[in-house]
Chain A
Amino acid sequence: MAKPGDLVEIVTKNKKYVGILMPKPEIIKSNTIVIKLDSGYNIGIEKKKIKKIKVIKKAKKGKKKNIKIKQSKKLPTVSILSTGGTISSKVDYKTGGTYASLTAEDFIQLEPKILKFANIRAKQIEQIMSEDMTPEHWIKIAKEVYKELNKKEVSGVVITHGTDTMHYTAAMLSFMFPKLSKPIVLVGAQRSTDRGSSDTFMNLICSVIAATQKIGEVMVCMHATTNDDFCYLHRGTKVRKMHTSRRDAFRSINQMPIAKIWPDGRIKFLINYKKPDKTNELNIKINKKVALIYVYPGINQNIIDYYLNKGYKGIVIAGTGLGHVPTYLIQKIKKAVKKGVAVCITSQCFYGRTHSFVYSNLRRLSQTGAIFCEDMLPEVAYVKLMHVLGKTKKLEKIKELMQKNIAGEINPIISKDMFLV
């Protein structure tokens, strides 16, 4: 039987084709067989036309080149933990799409220039596209990062991550490490690594450079502009994916990026950042019974009941404008608070601060005991509430913690420049 990768001869009524048998995407129903011709092109031949398939040469198993990595005593050491995503994607012949397949070692092969800035330790801890991440994964990643942080020789940790939910992970790690002696840098890619134009190469170099800095924060490192010139280093609690496909999709919201990093090693800090602590502290206790609700005109009020019935302990609302919800929802929120559920108000505008009393709707909402979350992003409030509920069940205490700046998630002073940066 011919297997994908074999050189085969396919005989049809009119013609003989010679080529390498390609696997077909499983998710697409198909009545064709695809081969790669000598010219490099793939073509499909209708199955019912085929009379015979003969294997000319079985596929050779590709040998993996082992690379020797020289350790430099002069350079710091950076741990790269890979979790999957586009940054570690390759062509998948099973689905015709891209899949996560690169191991951490491959990153060095991918962009050898990172060795100019650091010795690389590498570990693959997960192989998952970021849309499939769950709070369980955050805990697992945090534990692995903690192990690396506690290694004396390691000066910082880079986490390669799918971009879709990278800002959730970044925010959660920000709360899980109340003390941090070294930088944690999350990095992803918007173009897969199998193409020459991939943003992986520059993002990876810049993230490694960031991981060698004396910073005690969790950050995201991605292209700053559509050019391949420099990256931004964003605060993990103030960053959001703002575009489906552009390289510079990640933007700091209500805050300037921490720094600009060039792939030649230059770094320019734009705001104050947290200096490293002496030790690392990990707190993975979270309560996963938290929901995030996006309100919209015509939203069904029973959505709140649904979560109450399911035993949820916290609800984050992405309200409209300053934090509004349709007036008919307010009584449901009141009911939730009465039951001891923490209801947190953020804005789906992302930019700007919520407000608890400029309009009557807000005042009534505020009177229910809902917690206004300043300028916190809805996603950040969502993970923060999980974290806070891991610490306390008392509404008063929850309110105090949600409105207190713990990991840079609240910016008390939003300046004019912090919009659409």
Chain B
Amino acid sequence: MDYKKIGLKCGLEIHQQLDTHKLFCKCPSVLRDDTPHFEVKRKLKAVAGEMGKIDIAAISEQAREKIFVYEGYNDTTCLVELDEEPPHKLNQEALEIGLQIALLLNMKPFDEIQIMRKTVIDGSNTSGFQRTALIAEDGYIETKDGKVRVNMLALEEDSARKIKEAYGEVRFRLDRLGIPLVELRTEPDIFTPEQAKEAAEKIGLLMRMTGKVKRGIGTIRQDINVSIKGGERVEIKGVQELNDIPKIIKLEIERQQSLIEISKKLKQRKAKLEKKFFSIKKILEKSESNLVKKAIENEEEIIAVKLSGFAGLLKKKIQAERYLAKDLVEYVKHFTGIKGFIHSDELPNYGISENEVFQIKKFLNCKNEDAFAFVFAEKELAEKALSYLIDRCQQYVKGVPKDVRDVNDDCTTRFLRPMPGAARMYPETDEIPVPITKELLKKIKIPEKPEERLAKFKKWGLSNDLANQILHSQDLITFEELVKRFKKISPTIIASTLLSTRDEIRKRYGIETSPIKKRHFEETFELLDKGKIAKEAIVEILAHLAAKPQMTAEEVVKKLKLQKISIKELRKIINKIIDENEELAKNKQFKVLMGFVMRKVRGRIDGEIVAKELKKALEK
């Protein structure tokens, strides 16, 4: 596809969790899966922002009155997360990490930052807003296809984790609420799907250079803004997998192109949508349809609306296998909770006959180009649903609606909420402005950049491949610390141990390696550094530590008798084995004898030395 011709423009918004305590209280930033200790029930209300406007996204949430349940832990969540205590002073460490990232991205910090309240009433913040502060602007990164400007960087608190939603009740966990996040946004300087992936990768790597960002699932989230010529800026939220980015963008292009086509068609047809709702219960009274029978039995109303100009369009695929009607259903469901509607493009069906369809069309005064839709529900709810349906159809006439969308597993997207406006921000009055002084900036050390680190690693003797692997690894900072601390150990051994030992243990011993912590590596390398063990023992020691993480490396060495042996001791062992196996020695059965020796000394001395000494002994 010629992306230039279609005018593709993408921007990224990246959220990265920082590895410190929470932004506005001293609670640790830990996510938990054990049973929460308590829960609290709350409601939220849309309120006017600073400029006196109520944000459209906020109203959309309020259209559905919901109860929010918050789960918490007595030892890791406090009154601040519960919105029962004012926020403490901004976490200084988080601010400093934020500034480090800003400087890595060539950004300029502001002179003074003001913590803002961003109205969010989907329940994910107990307060009804998210605290956020803009700290820097005007940076850039380089990609193969050119410069991508990074225009803003904010420090903000993460939202509560959604656990479940059912029966008008949404359940959140407070463990994530308040974890410091860096949010950064690029200009729409990205012109191909692949470039978007590259930019996201680069930014992620740069942030990791601080050694102070969280790693693992859910700790970094990418939002992508996509627009094409004639389309509209659409925000796609919560992309977790970098490799999905190109596909998501391609599918969004498809969706916007389909909607542009549909809009053209609707304009040609002079579609004029009206919120005129009619009961068609009479027409369907004697219908064979089970759906209708059930509705009548439940004393529900059947309310219909004409969809001017929409005939044939509702079953049109707009994104992969997704129909336009599916998008409409999701939109209506979002605002009213209604599960679905029936439309004329899928009729006759569900036991509704051709004649009944004809009767409804006639009753609603539908021309050939018009479609209709109806819902089963009580009158008030049905009309509310159809009213939202008409709103959405009107948006289609105009073109691509300005949506915030959520990613599905297959990289298609679904409606999440309308695009929020600027009215959703007002100052956090519980905090005072924070000056970013020259003294503070002087204190901030810019971490080494990826290319600087690569050069350094190569100087340390790492192969190109290994250097790149360790640069991208979550053990990057540990690696550098260990190299600095254990000067006698070759950095290559440290790097390859950090990178591959876990896999090797899983494969060779079938032991889960997540209990292996930094401490275990440190202890093991300390023994190696002091010459107490051979490097051949490392895997075995760590495997044992994985199974028994409470032990120390030294204890494991003692228990498994893995102390390094000297060449003198080795020669003794070899001589003893040769004495015991005269026949084999005479026939120079090297392989068999090697096996015997190794059984005694495995992990305690370099195998090559063993082979050399055995050969020497056999030649005598």
Chain A residues packing against B (C-beta within 8 Å): 14-15, 20, 22, 25, 28, 30, 32, 34, 36-46, 49, 62, 91-93, 96-98, 191-198, 201-202, 226-229, 244-247
Contact = CB atoms under 8 A, between A and B. Distances in A.
A25 B427 CA distance: 11
A34 B45 CA distance: 29
Contacts of B118: 40
B432 A227 contact: no
6 contacts: A42-B425, A43-B113, A46-B111, A193-B47, A194-B48, A194-B426
Interface in B415-450: 422-427, 429, 432-433, 435
A23 to B, nearest CB: 11
Could you tell me the dominant secondary structure of chain A's interface residues?
loop
Given A41-B134, A96-B427, A227-B41, A195 B128 contact: yes
Contacts of B424: 40
A228 to B, nearest CB: 5
Interface string B388-428: 00000000000000000000000000000000001111110
A338 to B, nearest CB: 48
Contacts of B42: 197, 227-228
Interface stretch (B77-85, B320-328, B456-464): B77-85
B422 A39 contact: yes
A43 B79 contact: no
Contacts of B133: 41
B86 interface: yes
B13 to A, nearest CB: 12
A226 B40 contact: yes
Contacts of B154: 41
B47 A191 contact: no
Interface of B: 40-48, 50-52, 58, 79, 82-86, 108, 110-114, 116-119, 121, 126-129, 132-134, 138, 152, 154, 422-427, 429, 432-433, 435
A43 B114 contact: yes
B422 A38 contact: yes
Contacts of B45: 196, 198, 201
Given A40-B422, A45-B110, A246 B79 contact: yes
A196 B44 contact: yes
Contacts of A244: 85
Nearest to A226: B40
Nearest to A201: B45
Contacts of B40: 226-227
Given A93-B427, A195-B127, 5 more contacts: A96-B433, A196-B119, A201-B43, A226-B40, A228-B41
Contacts of A198: 45, 47, 128
A245 B118 CA distance: 22
B111 A32 contact: yes
A191 B129 CA distance: 13
Given A40-B424, A62-B52, A191-B83, A34 B114 contact: yes
Contacts of B41: 227-229
Given A96-B432, A197-B42, A245 B114 contact: no
Nearest to A20: B51
A198 B108 CA distance: 36
Given A96-B432, A227-B41, A196 B422 contact: no
A245 B87 CA distance: 11
A245 B86 CA distance: 7
Contacts of A226: 40, 82, 84
A197 B44 contact: yes
Contacts of B134: 37, 39, 41-43
Contact of B429 (A40, A49, A91, A229): A91
A363 B345 CA distance: 93
